[in-house]
A and B are shown apart, each in its own frame.
Chain A
Amino acid sequence: MSRIPFSPITINWTLTFRCNFNCRHCYSRPEKAPELPTEQVKEIMAKVAKYKVPFINYGGGEPLLRSDLFELTGYAAALGFNVSMNTNGFLMTEEKAALAKESGFKTVGVSIDSTRPEAHDDFRNTKGSHNKAVSAAKFLKDKGVRLTISSVICRINYTEFEDLVRQARDLGAEQISLHNYKCAGMGFTNRDELDLSPAEWKEFYLKAIALREKVTDIRISMDDPITATIHKAPEQAIVKGSTCGKLSLNIRANGDVTPCGFIPVVIGNLLTDDLKDLWDNSKVLEKMRNKKPKEKCLTCKHYEDCLGGCTARAYATTGDFNSPDPHCWVAK
């Protein structure tokens, strides 16, 4: 598509920054913001619905800590949104899984980062969390909720991703999202220990893309613009480079809007600002949509496809949207 859609396709929504976990990679752990009450969240939902945004995905913070989660979801679904969430699963019960179905969740993503319970529990800093996540997945499946599994690829699991795919398939997931490691929040603090080198990222993506092309009974999702340097999508992507600010926006717990959850640059607040106005006129979004190559990107033949890779990673490590993605393996 030659133009940006007239409004976001997806709103990633942090309903709360509170969390019952203390994960080693968490982007939002250091974030603090007051939480909007139910009625104000609904007010923003209604404003967003005016612009026909089709998808809302709750991230976090742990969404299940909001006591009004299912009420909000019912409200959002009635407005026409396709609602999903990412949860660590620890608080999911049979009853809550039934409420997830009833309130209108289209899909629920459960985070599982290893098939080895001790590795997952260590990464998530919570003993028993792997067992709870597996139980959550089962509760959701039993109640007829479409299940996805989310795994953050990092040092603990990048050579074991085939096991992760197998585990997700065994749990009945329709999709496994192999999320790239983000150097934001705790992810930045623990980057040396958990992030991969560019060569390791390349090795991982080559294998994971090969598996994705082979597997037919589960979708493998890898949303990372630097894969454009090694893989041509079968159909032309709607937009190139990072999708944040082009197809999606992020809403924080207090209604602040940022281009993505991993870029803590506030462009407005939906209690007072109009979504369409921000989408069309934000200088920050304009910069993200019109990146200029820098350093090794200046002469790179892949730039027109990857547009410098992940803008969030570039920004987190250099403070500049235009810097090359630190995960990029392409030589200077």
Chain B
Amino acid sequence: MRNIRRNPDIIWREEEEAREEAVKAMERGDDASGEGTALLVESGMMHQLNLLGGEIWKLLDGIDEEALVDRLAEVFDVDRETLSRDVRDFLIDIDRRGWLVHE
């Protein structure tokens, strides 16, 4: 399985305060999927990622998909199948945007 990295041309930043809020909301069982916890700037356009997207993004420093799901399973209390599917969908989306580098 190939390792995946963030496209180094993309400038990004974790939104620490928003992330803290999203984690608290998740722990309360609230829906935090609308909270942007990471900002990305690519070709002059600004994008935001929600908590799951932001956590995936941070881990994309040369990791394969299986290991990525393992790491996320430590944070997200969700069944493995659902998590794997969500991770796969997210990776397909950002790969299509040119935000990934495959090693």
Q: Mark A109-130, 1 if CB is under 8 A from B, else 0.
A: 0000000000000000000000
The segment out of A3-11, A22-30, A38-46 that lies at the interface is A3-11
What DSSP secondary structure best describes chain A's contact surface? loop
Taking a contact as CB atoms under 8 Å apart, the answer to whether A238 and B13 are in contact is no
How far apart are the CA atoms of A107 and B43 in the complex, in Å?
12
Taking a contact as CB atoms under 8 Å apart, the answer to whether A52 and B13 are in contact is yes
User: Which residues in window 17-50 of B have CB below 8 A to A?
Assistant: 17-18, 34-36, 39, 41, 43-48
User: A6-B16, A54-B13, A82-B11 in contact; A219/B43 too (CB < 8 A)?
Assistant: yes
User: Which residues in window 185-226 of A have CB below 8 A to B?
Assistant: 219, 221
CB neighbours of A238 from chain B (8 A): 36, 39, 46-48
Nearest CB in chain B: distance from A36 CB, A: 26
How far apart are the CA atoms of A175 and B15 in the complex, in Å?
27
CB neighbours of B45 from chain A (8 A): 235
How far apart are the CA atoms of A237 and B36 in the complex, in Å?
12
How far apart are the CA atoms of A9 and B41 in the complex, in Å?
9
User: A175-B44, A219-B44, A238-B46 in contact; A5/B35 too (CB < 8 A)?
Assistant: no
Asked if A55 CB lies within 8 Å of chain B CBs, one says yes
List 7 A-B pairs, minimum CB-CB distance, nearest first.
A1-B36, A6-B17, A238-B46, A54-B11, A1-B48, A52-B13, A54-B13
Listed A/B pairs (29) with beta-carbon separation below 8 Å: A1-B18, A1-B39, A2-B34, A2-B35, A2-B36, A3-B17, A3-B18, A3-B35, A3-B36, A5-B13, A5-B15, A5-B39, A6-B15, A6-B16, A6-B18, A9-B46, A52-B13, A55-B11, A82-B11, A219-B43, A219-B44, A221-B44, A237-B46, A238-B36, A238-B39, A238-B46, A238-B47, A238-B48, A247-B46
Residues of B at under 8 Å CB distance from A?
11-13, 15-18, 34-36, 39, 41, 43-48
Question: 19 other contacts beyond A2-B35, A247-B46, with CB at 8 A cut-off?
Answer: A1-B36, A1-B48, A2-B34, A2-B36, A3-B18, A3-B36, A5-B15, A6-B17, A9-B41, A9-B46, A54-B12, A54-B41, A55-B41, A82-B11, A175-B44, A219-B44, A235-B47, A237-B46, A238-B46
